[in-house]
Amino acid sequence: MKAALSVVGYGAMVAGLVGLLASRSIFSTSPIVIAVQLLAFALMIWARVSFGLRSFHLAANPTQGGLVTTGPYRFIRHPIYAAVCLFIWASALGHLSLQSAALACLVSAGVAIRIVTEEQLVTQQYPEYADYAKRTKRLIPFVF
């Protein structure tokens, strides 16, 4: 059930991204938006490199190899999702409209679903995740 729900979250993320692409609201000429998107991209790359050669799963299935708590995972539990949200919201705010805001909300809802389901599944596989979760925030260092 949790894995199926995580696929729904992934679908929401993809649908929101495709909607932003289709409405030409993903890229901006604003230097501020570009800088934020580059920061988001750098965070995503840093997180992916820190995560190692583990594969991506469409459903939220924990990977083998132990809990990753280095790199950006030292500060936030979901740096890739944080990067996605940062990139998408920069896009939406750079092309502010009801449609772009709704699509960014759709992506954010998908991220929220993925986070909740992944955390439940990872806690089952890695009991030490509970202690890690007490030390780190989900998406925004020192805040949330």
In a domain, 107, yes or no: yes
Domain that holds residue 26: 2-54+63-135
Number of neighbouring beta carbons within 10 Å of residue 80: 21
Q: What is the total count of domains within the chain?
A: 1
CA distance 12 to 110: 5
In a domain, 142, yes or no: no
CA distance 120 to 6: 11
CA distance 127 to 129: 5
In a domain, 71, yes or no: yes
**Tens place of pLDDT for every residue, the chain, 144 residues?**
888 899 999 999 999 999 999 999 999 999 999 999 999 999 999 999 998 877 677 777 777 778 899 999 999 999 999 999 999 999 999 999 999 999 999 999 999 999 999 999 899 889 999 999 999 999 998 788
